[in-house]
Structure 1
Amino acid sequence: MVLRQAVLPTNGNVSAEGKKAANNAAAFGGDESPLFPQFDVVPQSPADHSYIHETNQGVVGGNKWIKRVQKEWKILENSLPDTIYVRAFEDRMDLLRVAMVGATGTPYQDGLFFFDLHLPSSYLAVPPLVEYHSFGLSLNLNIGASGSVCLSLLDTFDGTSRDAKGARNEIIYAEDACLLTLRSMLYVLRWPPAGFEELVRDHFRRRGKFVILACQAYLHKACTVGTLDAEDALRR
């Protein structure tokens, strides 16, 4: 769990200040291309990284491990999807910080979701350790309020049972996920993870107005929550 989470106020002040920040971001409007590089290797690892105090710090796996990590960096540099941003660190090759933009047409649309990764000495034989910047919010079944990330539930639903009750549950789930995404936006605006402040500012400068318009469309029942392409809101 990100340490800041433990000291976040839980009263209504956070929500009010967060809404003000979101409104300020939305006022900029615009949808130009993002300025934040998708991948970069920076000199210094951030002090707020979830694995900054991991016992095996720095170069943990010898020359073979170094070459493997550098190969991974090259893959990331050349192959990242448009909605994913990664920072690697010269002083801590075992650490990565990742930002993902919520996919269009889902309850997570336009959210910014941050993950910290640690590459152990036995990587690739074992997967990286991953922790989500949760701010105390349990975003979905795979991501806990503590920041834990569970992959065991992936690809376990065959999609064959979609009766009326299932469809109704889907709507409730989508509404909850959308509200949690909006709340996470407020926290990210107020406490952006170190090194990604520019991305947060630029993202909400470009996308803030679409977030507000999507909320208005959902509130007025113009469409089902989690199905709106934000640009479509401009035409409603």
Structure 2
Amino acid sequence: MGQPRRSKPFQRFDVISDDSDHFYRDSSLPIPATTQKKIMKEWKLLEQHLPQSITVRAYEKRVGLLRAAIAGASDTPYHDGLYFFDISFTPHYPTQPPQVHYRSFGYRINPNLYVNGNVCLSLLNTWPGKRKSETWNPKESTVLQVLLSIQALVLNERPYYNEPGFGSFKPGSSGEKKSFAYNEEAFVLSCNSMLHLIKTPPRGFEALVAWHFRDRACPILQACEAYAHGRVRVGYFRDGTPQQAPSSRVAVPKKFKESIESLYPRLYKAFSKEGASLAGLSEELSLDEATAPVKGTKGLVVNVVSTVKKFFGLK
């Protein structure tokens, strides 16, 4: 069986004082009293309804700022990663949506998340969307909806199709092969992001970063091994689930295999320093076993976004 996930040893929503490394610290405008009252309602909503996979911190002296950490969902190439977003309310909130900046560490891990930190999302009015109902609605939209949308609709199981004009998923199509390749690249970049987070955690989230990677160290390293050996496609690994049989192995591109082989010992060392229990795992990744392509391999899982559906009524 896999390693059971422990509950967080701290609150999902809290108020802290240190905003010194917040992206919008020096650019946010003063918030009038009427807007502050509306922001307080957002605080209450976050405090009551945040899922376990999202952590938010507000700032006692800067009401207009928030910071959120979103854990990548299982059955996606972002599983077990931790992704940070700095948020700033405008003085006219909620007439205007909040500003959101992704802490990228220089990596483009998703078509909607840019290296410069821009977040492309219809709910933020940074993308027109297919329907008007997808854009920001001052009477109904909330920061909680924004965070849930990023987790479920941006950091999803097939991010390749987030790119405009790339169509939708069709088994056996050329797009499917490109989607598999994109997932491999996204996982590699996500692992690199983990190393940066452990080395320089955002202020106010040091305990969360340390706890998260102690808790998820084994599944991350096990996934690296499974992906590098072609036992399962990237995004379909679940700790505790039996590996695919050798006859069902998938082809592993040389570049991806070399990237994982390089990342694995660095991740192992970083997780060890955080105090993770890595019994039974080797310090180096052995890739002596041959990998073979699979004919007719099917995607196994579609990520569930029921939480977002409750807010948006999405089909």
TM over 0.5: yes
Does 2:27 correspond to 1:54? yes
1: CA distance, partners of 2:217 / 2:225: 13
Can you list the C-alpha shifts for 1:183-229, whole angstroms capped at 9, x where unaligned?
11011011100000000000011111110001101111110111112
TM-score, normalization by structure 2: 0.61
Which residue, 75, 82, 103 being the options, matches 1:105? 75
Residue type matched to 1:174 in 2?
N
1: CA distance, partners of 2:194 / 2:28: 32
Q: Secondary structure at the match of 1:189?
A: helix
For residues 77-88 of structure 1, what are the structure 2 equivalents within 5 Å? 77-88=47-58
Does 2:178 correspond to 1:169? yes
**Partner residue, 2:212:** 203
TM-score, normalization by structure 1: 0.80
Residue type matched to 1:131 in 2?
H
Percentage of pairs with the same residue: 39
**Partner residue, 2:229:** 220
Q: Secondary structure at the match of 1:228?
A: coil
Stretches of structure 2 that go unaligned for 5 or more consecutive residues are 122-126, 131-163, 246-315
1: CA distance, partners of 2:221 / 2:57: 29
Residue type matched to 2:95 in 1?
A
Does 2:157 correspond to 1:186? no
Which residue, 28, 34, 40 being the options, matches 2:14? 40
1: CA distance, partners of 2:73 / 2:28: 35
Deviation at residue 166 of structure 1 after TM alignment: 1.1
- Say if 1:30 and 1:205, in contact at 8 Å, map to a contact too: no
2: CA distance, partners of 1:208 / 1:161: 33
**Partner residue, 1:24:** none
Query: Which protein is bigger by CA-based radius of gyration?
Result: 2
For residues 57-68 of structure 1, what are the structure 2 equivalents within 5 Å? 57=30, 60-62=31-33, 64-68=34-38
Q: Secondary structure at the match of 1:181?
A: helix
Does 2:99 correspond to 1:123? no
What value does the CA root-mean-square deviation take over the aligned residues? 2.2
- Say if 1:214 and 1:233, in contact at 8 Å, map to a contact too: no
2: CA distance, partners of 1:185 / 1:204: 8
Q: Secondary structure at the match of 2:62?
A: coil
Deviation at residue 231 of structure 1 after TM alignment: 3.1
Deviation at residue 173 of structure 1 after TM alignment: 0.9
Deviation at residue 162 of structure 1 after TM alignment: 4.8
- Say if 1:45 and 1:92, in contact at 8 Å, map to a contact too: no
2: CA distance, partners of 1:113 / 1:160: 25
- Say if 1:86 and 1:97, in contact at 8 Å, map to a contact too: yes
Distance 1:189 1:235, change over 3 A: farther
How many residue pairs align between the two structures?
204
